[in-house]
Amino acid sequence: NAGVTQTPKFQVLKTGQSMTLQCAQDMNHEYMSWYRQDPGMGLRLIHYSVGAGITDQGEVPNGYNVSRSTTEDFPLRLLSAAPSQTSVYFCASRKQGMNTEAFFGQGTRLTVV
């Protein structure tokens, strides 16, 4: 019953470092997305994918890259970390189509110093 698996749970980076947040789902969901959550701001969409090989930008894409080579995996890459990227990151997946709920990973708390 894995659902959406997100790693790591915590990460501290120095300004300018790069890293990849991993996300995998085992529900065969077409739609996957990455959000960041900052205090008082709800969930903001970074990037999303509607299927393998297809990605698109969300509301706050700058400084992040994604790829979707398989249905299961949707990694998020921080190219050159900045303190403004300190946040909690969530990966989510949904079955494509109307009236489907989103399932979330457990989140990654990222601090950039």
Partner 1 sequence: EDKVVQSPLSLVVHEGDTVTLNCSYEVTNFRSLLWYKQEKKAPTFLFMLTSSGIEKKSGRLSSILDKKELFSILNITATQTGDSAVYLCAVDSNYQLIWGAGTKLIIKP
Copy the structure tokens of residue 56.
Answer: 């698109």
Looking at beta carbons only, is 64 or 90 nearer to partner 1? 90
Site for partner 1 in 76-105 (CB under 8 A): 90, 94, 96, 98-99, 101-105
- Among 12, 27, 41, 54, indicate the residue that binds partner 1 (CB under 8 A): 41
Residue 83, phi then psi, degrees to nearest 5: -55, -30
Binding mask 11-40 for partner 1 (x = CB under 8 A): --------------------x-x-x----x
Q: Are 20 and 77 within 8 A, CB to CB?
A: yes
As a whole number of angstroms, the distance between CA 102 and CA 93 comes to 6
Residue 9, phi then psi, degrees to nearest 5: -85, -35
Least distance to partner 1, CB of residue 102, Å = 6
The number of helices, as runs of H, and strands, as runs of E, in the chain is 0, 11
The yes or no reply on residue 107 touching partner 1 (CB under 8 A) is: yes
Q: Are 18 and 78 within 8 A, CB to CB?
A: yes
Looking at beta carbons only, is 9 or 18 nearer to partner 1? 9
Q: Which residues bind partner 1 (CB under 8 A)?
A: 31, 33, 35, 40-45, 48, 50, 90, 94, 96, 98-99, 101-107
